[in-house]
Structure 1
Amino acid sequence: MANIRTIIIEDDHFNVLAVTKIIQNQFPEIIIVDTASMVNEAIEKINEHQPDLLLMDIHLIGGTSFDVIKQINYRDFKIVFMSAYHEYAVKAIEYAAVDFVFKPFDINDLVVAIDKAIDQMQDKQYALKIKTLFNNIDFELNQIILHGRDSLKAFKISDIVWAQAIAGGAEFHLSDNSSFIATKPLRRYEAILSDHTFFRCHPFNLVNLLHINTIDSTANTIHMLSGATVALENRRYNQLNELLQIQKEYVQTF
């Protein structure tokens, strides 16, 4: 592989030195073409150097790395984010399925993240991940990337009616009555979906509260607006009812 042109975007000088040393010791194919600590500086240097890889802290002088991404013209790169906080930014990154290393970082964690970024240099699906990140950059976290058997696909979370755990992954049922089979387990997506309007109604099922039509407490089933019938665990009935009531009251206030 040709040399990988890299920019370190980090406002802590000692972290820049630490990352530089790790790269020099572990990645002879990586060339650090520049560093930046400020938002405006980072924008200028990315557009100038057009790097293959960005190693970015979230919090910078003058703003965040998301401010940088929104304003750059050149976007054909891989990203590894590094930060100790900004939970909302971590969430955005999770939606886009790009890499994140917590600081203070373990050397092995950073090495693995960079290795993964290098592997993705040939990954045509990576463009979809970056596109989703750009779409979510204003923290309108309304999309999720699902890993299929042969591809990745982005979906609006509001279009997911319900999801069920299946052997080897999870099946997502959509508002247009289509479905998508993901190869990762449902629990991998639950943390993201639960931040929206999803509820674990059964050990194997998640439902979108906005798509519920009625609940049959006798049959322990949920009838969705799409016509689907989803199993409901009896002990979760009261909690689901409470959530639906809260949702109803919230909607009525607007």
Structure 2
Amino acid sequence: MSALAASVTSELDRTYPLSATATADFAHDGFAHLSNVLSPEAIAHFEPTVTSEVIRLNTQHLPLEERGTYGKAFLQVPNLWEHNETVRDLVFSKRLAGIAAGLLGVHAVRLYHDQALYKEPSGGITPWHADQYYWPLSSDRVCTIWLPLQETPLEMGPLAFARGSHNFSSGRELPISDESEAALDRAVAEQRFEHVVEPFALGDASFHRGWTFHHAGPNHSTLPRRVMTVIYLDADIRITDPTNDNQTSDLGWMPGATIGQVPDTPRNPVLYDARRAAGSA
């Protein structure tokens, strides 16, 4: 193993120092934008491999102008960890999973799935939506890391949030679409949720809860906006009966598990457990 690879491996296991109020702030706001989550060296180590896998596994081949709103938003490639060991190292990072557990206020988190989201140059908006619409899960103790693999100024369309919107139940029946963009844009304005949009420095990452409304602007730059995401579940969460066709489809991320069970499957390993971490300290 090279000195760089060894350094990155050590970083992926090193605890990130959350503030004393981080869990309460996350519960109040529904999201957190954190600095220095990974070093520039770590980002540089992973970005070429993630990008190479996105190019290799991408199934979207229509020209941008021939796609609908969702297709123009990004190239979406899920579960890269199953295809590449280097990406697996990133997805299975105890550092990142430990942040998710700390923000959610749970002792352990398991993997739901990862996905790369690459917004191409001239790529369109990502409509307002809430991720948990898609998830047949028993609680809202779920969050997603949004990890850009480059500096992400406003012109590239960084992820933006409606502060506190995870406590607002209207609009939860909407999949990501032109309809969700219009309806949730109105709801955010009417409810006076603060719209938080910020650039991301290299190494920054955000975490957001499953019911937090979020969206992203178009990519006005000449470079792709390269982002890796991982969805973390409370390790004790259970599968519930799907309430829409998308949730039925999402049962595939938890193969072999049945309704009412904890999704303790090879595809959904526990990535961080504070009790084990304390025992090994």
TM-score, reference length from structure 1:
0.26
Higher relative contact order (CA 8 A, sep 6+): 2
More strand by share: 1
